[in-house]
Structure 1
Amino acid sequence: MSAGTVLLTLGRLPKALDLARSFHAAGWRVVVAEPFRRHLAGASRSVARSVVVTAPATDREAYLAGLLRVVEEEAADLVLPVSEEVVHVAELHGRLPGRTRLFAMPAAAVLAAHDKGAFAAVADRLGLAVPPTYPLGSEAAALLAARQDVVVKPLHACSGRGVLRLRRGAVLPAADPAAPAIVQGMIAGPERSTCSLVHDGVVSGTVVYQGLMHSGSVSIAFERVEDLRIEAFVRAYASATRWTGFLSFDFMLDHEGHPFAIECNPRTTSGLHFFSAEDLARAVLDPTHPLRFQPETRLQQFYSCLTETQLGLFRGGFGRKLRTLLKTRDVTWSRHDPRPFLTMTATSWPIIREAMARRATFGEVATLDVGWRGAPLPTAAPAAPGTATSSTAPASGSAGD
């Protein structure tokens, strides 16, 4: 695809800034559609125009209509979801002009992967390692909680929202049909996460990384590592579902280092920052283009890490956090494009204000207005490539912005 116009469907996160800079460097015109009037990527010289759209949490159809309007006005050649809004943006399949490509799976496939129970069921049927996972309120979930430590989490939670860890034998919370959840066997080892770029089931590149510093459950400093078993899992899932778009997973390692996938994120994660900016846009556009890594194996979100380091004076770990802060490159800073870093506090103020009001972390509230809060999949959902069965089916068996 020759140079054209790309529409990013979120601008507030550093991942959007990476994508904007990469497409701009590749000669593309970059437009951002955002519910916030001011946002991080909008301060970049790489962005030609930012357009305010209705938040999908406010009015989903108005949000989609707004995106379609921007596509028409800007003659967009490519629509590129950035984060949790992908579950909504995927509904544009079949509604876009013939010239416009959407780099995402159809909505049913995206929602099936986003649904934690459905993902576990599909992965288990594919012979991939996942912890035992059952619907909250089922007899199987109660039996699981009686014999081992478990994690209870909403079907569509992100950034650790609503997650509850319980010791073996503890009483499970009551099931709420309005807020369906799963009960999953706890794997007590370290956590690792991934971010991959995939074309029709073929993985162009996968980053495996682990958190160095956290704000709540969200990684704000991270380290790239190698794990061949995790990479094999990603390839197997991507191939079986014939995935196209970004694809990410969270894993827990057992005491022998075996990885178990605890959830799928059908979108980018902070692992995106490890991909070479020179290659990222070209790899989205061309399945044959090599996708290399940045030279750094450690990266951070500076302002979040600064806040967490200051809190370390009272909560502990100050020395370790300070060393990470001083020795790790920020994902936003660029001497060729300094304004996003220098104005981040101002452009992120809507999120900061909401986090203070809720007494929550930045990561927990950053995507509240664009994430999926809908119902679980219907019980009869088919298990064809790119889709998955309902989270009500028992299955055997978080990481950055």
Structure 2
Amino acid sequence: MASLSARVRGAALLAALVVTAPVSALVCGVARVVLPERPRNEPPRARTVLVTTAHMTKSLFLARKFHQAGHRVVAVSIPRHRWGPLRFSRAARAFHLVTDPAEDPRGYVRDLIAVIRAEGVDTVVPVIDEPGRAQPTSDAAPLLAEHCAVLANDPATHHLLNDKASFAELVRAAGLPHLETRRITDVRQLREVDFTGREFVLKPPEWTCMATDHRVVVMADPAAAPPDLAIGRDRPWVLQRRAAGREYCAHTTCHDGRITAYTCSESSALQLNYHHVEVPAIWLWARDFVAAHRLSGQVSFDFIVGDDDVPYAIECNPRTHSAVVAFHDSPELAAAYLDPVPGEVVRPRPGSPPVHWLGAELGRLPVVLRRRALRPWLHDLLRGKDAVFDWRDPVPFLVAHHVQLPVLLLRALAEGKRWQRVNWATGKLV
């Protein structure tokens, strides 16, 4: 059951969204009526592109890019996220509900094939929120590929990338800098590790918001493992040497071992601020890793770069990263997905403003006021760009903040579910 504090926070946030709804409706309504749809380009060959989710900013963002490039976008969603903002975007020319892949993978494939046939889809671009739905989507790729192109790795490669222990093996096989990593299926295995003068991180092999235990434990002694930590062959964990340094995240779009779109950002506390930075060592690492394993699709990495400027990849997420919003000034992004130019890598343009989510920034305001940092906060807010709002496509902003989120809050209150924070990027309560 949800705690009293969670219910109070939920009710307070819901009230704030109701009170501010008229302002959002006025701004979005005027923009919708006054401003025409953004002019579209004429690509060499227009495609019908299927985007596999509608509730996340990254799916909305990619759909807008495909639409602006002259392609036709079809969006699908599971019933739970039927009120996703992409459904109400000018970019989505068609919308369909499909079975949740986490509950019925076969039904999901059946529904996607039906949409592909009905809409004449040329290319499927999977945009997934977490491993619980990413692996079933990857498993479906070979079946979908019988009907159209699919921008995804094969299921076996996807699984190896998603698992932190097997990903570490792939890094080692590519001859790239790596951290000592091993899979732990018995707590007694910790005693075999040399902890002398070193710290290790114990973590689950895969992250999912549906997991019952996704703690990250920092250890300097094998005896420091929490006694209530369930470790076994059916519940393995991963032990990895801890590296100190600056944290970064990178998104890559790949075709047959070649990166066609790339962005790197400094990691933030909740990963809700993105601004492209050039870190040559990370670019070279990503380029060589993708080439070594001939990756395709969308592959994201988390790095730690120490004082020696050596990048260590601590995990891989073989799916779209929210950092893709850093390409907001890059009209070439659609081509990097659908018609890559040989030898060309699309990056965010130099001087492109940083990206944030207004809801997350307003949520930080009490801390900002306590720290008396209002002026720099306002400066960053005004020079940056909201990830959802678009003057020529304003309705998704209204839906995301005043339909999608209130529905989630009401559902959580009705079901008595606990939640810690709003993930503004994925449109979910975590």
Q: TM-score range by the shorter chain?
A: 0.7 to 0.9
- Aligned-partner residue type, residue 193 of structure 1: C
Contact 1:306-1:325 within 8 A present in 2 as well: no
| 2:115 matches 1:58 | no
SS at match of 2:158: helix
Residue in structure 1 matched with residue 57 of structure 2 by the alignment = 14
Listed one character per residue, the Cα deviations across residues 203-228 of structure 1 (whole Å, up to 9, x for unaligned) are: 113211113x53xxx31112221111
Q: 1:154 to 1:355 in 2, by over 3 A?
A: farther
Shift of the alpha carbon at 1:300? 0.9
- Aligned-partner residue type, residue 348 of structure 2: F
Q: Which has the higher helix share?
A: 2
Q: How many residues align structurally?
A: 365
Structure 1 Cα separation of the partners of residues 372 and 200 of structure 2: 28
- Aligned-partner residue type, residue 150 of structure 1: F
State the superposition RMSD in angstroms: 2.9
Residue in structure 2 matched with residue 157 of structure 1 by the alignment = 207
SS at match of 1:304: helix
Identity %: 27
- Aligned-partner residue type, residue 360 of structure 2: S
| 2:72 matches 1:29 | yes
Q: Which of the numbers 112, 123, 129 marks the counterpart of 2:160?
A: 112
Q: 1:220 to 1:234 in 2, by over 3 A?
A: same
Residue in structure 1 matched with residue 419 of structure 2 by the alignment = 359
Contact 1:309-1:322 within 8 A present in 2 as well: no
Contact 1:8-1:16 within 8 A present in 2 as well: yes
Shift of the alpha carbon at 1:318? 5.5
Structure 1 residue runs of 4+, over 6 Å off?
none
Q: 1:327 to 1:353 in 2, by over 3 A?
A: farther
- Aligned-partner residue type, residue 111 of structure 1: H
Listed one character per residue, the Cα deviations across residues 287-307 of structure 1 (whole Å, up to 9, x for unaligned) are: 217424244252112212221
Higher RCO (C-alpha under 8 Å, 6+ residues apart): 1
SS at match of 1:87: helix
Contact 2:261-2:347 within 8 A present in 1 as well: yes
Q: Could you say which structure has the larger radius of gyration?
A: 2
Listed one character per residue, the Cα deviations across residues 127-159 of structure 1 (whole Å, up to 9, x for unaligned) are: 112221111236654444733222222111058
Residue in structure 1 matched with residue 45 of structure 2 by the alignment = 2
Structure 1 Cα separation of the partners of residues 240 and 408 of structure 2: 31
Residue in structure 1 matched with residue 293 of structure 2 by the alignment = 241
Shift of the alpha carbon at 1:121? 1.0
Contact 1:6-1:31 within 8 A present in 2 as well: yes
Residue in structure 1 matched with residue 405 of structure 2 by the alignment = 348
Shift of the alpha carbon at 1:323? 4.5
Contact 1:53-1:67 within 8 A present in 2 as well: yes
Listed one character per residue, the Cα deviations across residues 203-258 of structure 1 (whole Å, up to 9, x for unaligned) are: 113211113x53xxx31112221111111111111111111111110001223332
Name stretches of at least 5 consecutive residues in structure 2 with no aligned partner: 1-43
Structure 2 Cα separation of the partners of residues 107 and 287 of structure 1: 23
Structure 2 Cα separation of the partners of residues 124 and 64 of structure 1: 34
Structure 1 Cα separation of the partners of residues 424 and 302 of structure 2: 17
- Aligned-partner residue type, residue 93 of structure 2: A
Shift of the alpha carbon at 1:324? 3.3
SS at match of 2:272: strand
Q: 1:182 to 1:16 in 2, by over 3 A?
A: same
TM-score (norm 1): 0.82
- Aligned-partner residue type, residue 7 of structure 1: L
Contact 2:254-2:297 within 8 A present in 1 as well: yes
Contact 1:209-1:225 within 8 A present in 2 as well: yes
Q: 1:365 to 1:278 in 2, by over 3 A?
A: closer
| 2:314 matches 1:258 | no
